[in-house]
Amino acid sequence: MAEAPPEAPKVSKRAAEKEAKKAAARAAKAVAPKSAPATNNAAAPSKPAEPVDPFKQGWLKGVYSEKSIPGEEVHTRFPPEPNGYLHIGHAKAITVNFGFARSYGGVCNLRFDDTNPSKEEEKYFTSIQEMVRWLGFEPARVTHSSDEFDKLYELAEALVQKGKAYVCHCTPDEVKRGRGQLGGGEFGERKACAHWGRSVEENLEEFRGMRDGKYKPGEAVLRMKQYLATKPEEYEVHEDDSTEIRQRKERLKAAADNPALWDCAAYRVTKNNHHHRTGDKWRIYPTYEFTHCICDALEGITHSLCTVEFETLRPAYNWLLEELDMKDRGSDAKGPMQREYGRLNVEGTILSKRRIAMLVEGCTVGGEGKDIADEVDDLRLAEEGDPEPEAPSEAAKAVTTASGTTKKTIPPAVNGWDDPRLFTLVALRRRGVPPGALKKFVLDLGVTKANANTMTHILDASIRTYLERSVPRLMIVLDPIKVTFTNLPEDYSEPRTVPFDPKDKEKGTHTIPFTRTIYIDQDDFRETDDPDFFRLAPGKSVGLLYVDHPIRCTSFA
């Protein structure tokens, strides 16, 4: 039981002094003369600071400055592969590409890189679009790489006819040896394979044979004729070389030493030919290295923004566009310009779609072939207190193959792609994370060439700060105990005005009643008082937030 006088309640000396000071301040303000007009010597009132546009600062500003052509609209794209659900790392890619275009008055496409039919499912297409819109962005166009399959094939034939592509029948081991990988940690000279010197006519016939089903998967690959066959003597510098020749040889050496330019694959025969959009029309499909830059050019992309692991692929990106006359040599004025920013890495999380799929679906490791993933132990989620997902009774089932090797079947570790322990976007949404908090988190970390490495508690703190400033505050008692004021009538009710945000009065207020019965949290009461305890206890008076009357505990049961 507690007391709270309804009429002329007693106020502590300290509270009375504070109220007297407030009253004196109000009185002084009421009689104070109005401020005189500012003179010429007075400082002008400061204007509120303009919000900083993160896309017009630092590295992103520099990227725009590199390719800022009057009259040309900024055009970016977000190009996910529809083979899994997006995760928090994709939130950065989405925010950077859509935000950059929006900031400079341009547009951004959502382009599905659907060139691998064996791994793509309709549910991923649907979820990706949903997540982009959940983050607050609307694509100017939703496109698919498969929209351009006819054009891509036409350009591949054009590359063959220029003598810049050939059909290769090498085995994987032969390909490695041709790139100087001799095995056992030994390396040798790089050299072109026996098929490199074929005539244009023969390569064209072989490529059309690939298209028409002549070859099985792995038996034939169309390769771009880049710098694999470049000999060291071609870029050897001599004393009498002019500055121009020296620079040209330096560029040639850099290209020849870049594995991304060692005759990358352009088209391959796939195991699963059926495509969700084009059906059974194609038996061959273009690779990422061939498709990506061409689709950028065909869509009119001006700034192709991607993460730093693609930086070594930029020479191959430019090489192909230059060979197809979609880009001027050594210049970004025409065609798309690729630039790379740092990835978002959140320590203590799993962001690889392949590894998340293993957590969701389970996996098999060991056996005759290579394990499905490295370091399986790293895939376990150690979330103390979380319920175990439904799984077979055995934690892992061992299976012995005919050859005597052992495979281990590991059951699923989480309950779906939206399990709150994951950092997929669907999981974060289910957890209640606002999309605005994710975007602010990404931009607060900055967008530069350096990877943004952070930890989960930094993300949690960022989300709390965002919620504190963006949502109204309401009170809830999680572990309630009942408090009855014995000296108040049964029907007593005193309305109290409470702000939604104590630090921002413009967010408004709401009214709650102060009645004879209230509830406080169990942690706010002790049966035995303590000098270090400043809450309610027998014989002790305390104040209530937003209530003028102090209350005193007279008894408890």
DSSP 400-411: E-TTS-EEEEE-
Give the percent of the chain with pLDDT over 90. 67
Q: What is the mean pLDDT of residues 414-425?
A: 94
Q: What is the mean pLDDT of residues 54-63?
A: 94
SS (H, E, C) 272-341: CCCECCCECCCCEEECHHHHHHHHHHHCCCCEEEEEHHHHHHHHHHHHHHHHCCCCCCCCCCCCCEEEEE
Task: Tell whether 336 and 484 lie within a shared domain.
Answer: no
Among 111, 100, 110, smallest CA distance to 74 is for: 100
- CATH number reported for the structural domain that contains residue 292 in this entry: 3.40.50.620
pLDDT higher than 50, residue 35: no
pLDDT of residue 380: 27
Q: Are 105 and 73 in contact (CB under 8 A)?
A: yes
Q: Are 342 and 376 in contact (CB under 8 A)?
A: no
Q: For this structure, is 449 an active site residue? A: no
Q: What is the mean pLDDT of residues 317-321?
A: 97
pLDDT higher than 60, residue 31: no
Is residue 194 included in any domain, yes or no? yes
Is residue 391 included in any domain, yes or no? no
Is residue 362 included in any domain, yes or no? no
pLDDT band at 294; cut points 50, 70, 90: very high
Q: What is the mean pLDDT of residues 107-117?
A: 96
pLDDT higher than 80, residue 24: no
pLDDT of residue 119: 87
pLDDT of residue 447: 95
Please state the length of the chain.
557
Is residue 45 included in any domain, yes or no? no
pLDDT of residue 26: 64
Domain range for 112: 58-226+262-347
- CATH number reported for the structural domain that contains residue 489 in this entry: 2.40.240.10
Domain boundary among 297, 327, 347: 347
| Burial letters 323-338, b for 16+ CB under 10 A, else e | bbebbeeeebeebbbb
**Which of 3, 81, 157, 494 is flagged as catalytic?**
81
pLDDT of residue 482: 94
Is residue 442 included in any domain, yes or no? no
Q: What is the pLDDT of residues 190-224, one digit of tens each?
A: 889 999 999 999 999 999 999 999 999 999 999 99
β-strand 284-286 against 265-269: which pairing, if any?
antiparallel
Q: What is the mean pLDDT of residues 488-493?
A: 93
Q: Which of 16-20, 270-274, 294-298 has the highest mean pLDDT?
A: 294-298
Task: Tell whether 339 and 486 lie within a shared domain.
Answer: no
**CA separation for the pair 161, 155 (Å, rounded):** 10
pLDDT of residue 27: 60
| DSSP-assigned beta bridge partners for residue 293 | none
Is residue 142 included in any domain, yes or no? yes
- Count of the separate structural domains present in the chain: 2
pTM value surpassing 0.85: no
pLDDT of residue 484: 94
pLDDT of residue 49: 53
Q: What is the mean pLDDT of residues 22-37?
A: 56
pLDDT band at 378; cut points 50, 70, 90: very low
Q: Which of 148-152, 364-368, 456-460 has the highest mean pLDDT?
A: 148-152
**Which of 343, 431, 496, 535 is flagged as catalytic?**
343
Task: Tell whether 340 and 485 lie within a shared domain.
Answer: no
pLDDT higher than 70, residue 352: yes
pLDDT of residue 30: 58
**CA separation for the pair 226, 188 (Å, rounded):** 19
Domain boundary among 310, 331, 347: 347
pLDDT of residue 475: 85
pLDDT higher than 90, residue 525: yes
Q: For this structure, is 353 an active site residue? A: yes
Domain boundary among 330, 347, 364: 347
Phi/psi of residue 550, nearest 5 degrees: -70, 155
The mean of the pLDDT values for the chain is 85
Is residue 410 included in any domain, yes or no? no
**CA separation for the pair 417, 286 (Å, rounded):** 29
pLDDT of residue 363: 85
Q: For this structure, is 343 an active site residue? A: yes
Q: What is the pLDDT of residues 453-474, one digit of tens each?
A: 999 999 999 999 999 888 888 8
pLDDT higher than 80, residue 382: no
